[in-house]
Homo-oligomer: A and B are copies of this chain.
Amino acid sequence: MKSAKEVFNEYLKEKNLKHSKVRDMIIDIFLKTERHLTAEELYFLVSKKYSKIGFSTVYRTLKHLIRAGLCREIKLEDGITRYEHLYGHQHHDHIICIKCGKFVEVVEPQIEILQEGLFEKYGFIPKSHRMELYGICKKCIKKNK
């Protein structure tokens, strides 16, 4: 299987886009950070290494990652967009702690099957779905005791 980096390089070549110090830096930091980053978090991570980075470059680079199929925007109930790794990850949903914001990716094939059933029942052609479970995680339960 190709690495995410290779996929991105192919995307650049295909679109006649270029490498640059800044672009490669953002890509590397995004790819090695296996969390659901916000644009702001990514901006701060990059700015530690290169303080002149601009927000627009971060946003523009994220758009490229999306077009290259390496990344997906997710919008949760707080309204802030997060960017999640897509390449080499199977479909999953999220369980989220409303106290500390911790994310866990969850997979539940039986739910997927029932979802297919709902699409069929309502006569829809399935395209995608999202499911988020909000609760309080173990650590935060302990803290409040």
Contact = CB atoms under 8 A, between A and B. Distances in A.
Contact of A95 (B110, B111, B114, B124): B124
A68 interface: no
Contact of A124 (B111, B127, B137): B137
Copies in the complex: 2
Interface in A110-145: 110-111, 114-115, 117-119, 122-138, 141
A77 interface: yes
Given A75-B77, A130-B131, A118 B136 contact: no
Contact of A130 (B114, B132, B138): B132
A97 interface: yes
Interface of A: 75-77, 79, 81, 95, 97-98, 104, 106, 108, 110-111, 114-115, 117-119, 122-138, 141
